[in-house]
Amino acid sequence: MESVYWWDGDINHENEVVLILKTQSNNFKAVEKAVKSLHSYECPCIVALPVTDGYKPYLDWMVSESTK
């Protein structure tokens, strides 16, 4: 994707890759730590989005897989 953002007083245009990780909220800190350690940016975009609804078989699978 192409990102356009302010950084250090300048407008930047960068080609970036979007990574979507799906897990339970209790795993967020571990994911955050891993991404920060691997990412080249000083301030990478690491956000959690709430899942308010979804296809139940998929949500059940996601919970099952992220508790192993």
- In a domain, residue 5? The reply is no
- Confidence at residue 22, expressed as pLDDT on a 0 to 100 scale: 87
In the chain, the number of structural domains is 1
- In a domain, residue 67? The reply is yes
Note down the domain range covering 53. 24-68
* pTM given for the model: 0.75
- In a domain, residue 11? The reply is no
- Confidence at residue 35, expressed as pLDDT on a 0 to 100 scale: 96
Mean pLDDT of 21-31: 92
- The SS3 of residue 34 is helix
Does position 8 have pLDDT exceeding 90, yes or no?
A: yes
- In a domain, residue 1? The reply is no
- In a domain, residue 51? The reply is yes
Q: What percent of the chain has pLDDT over 90?
A: 82
- Confidence at residue 11, expressed as pLDDT on a 0 to 100 scale: 96
Q: Are 34 and 19 in contact (CB under 8 A)?
A: no
- In a domain, residue 8? The reply is no
- In a domain, residue 60? The reply is yes
- Confidence at residue 68, expressed as pLDDT on a 0 to 100 scale: 66
Distance CA 62, CA 1 (A): 26
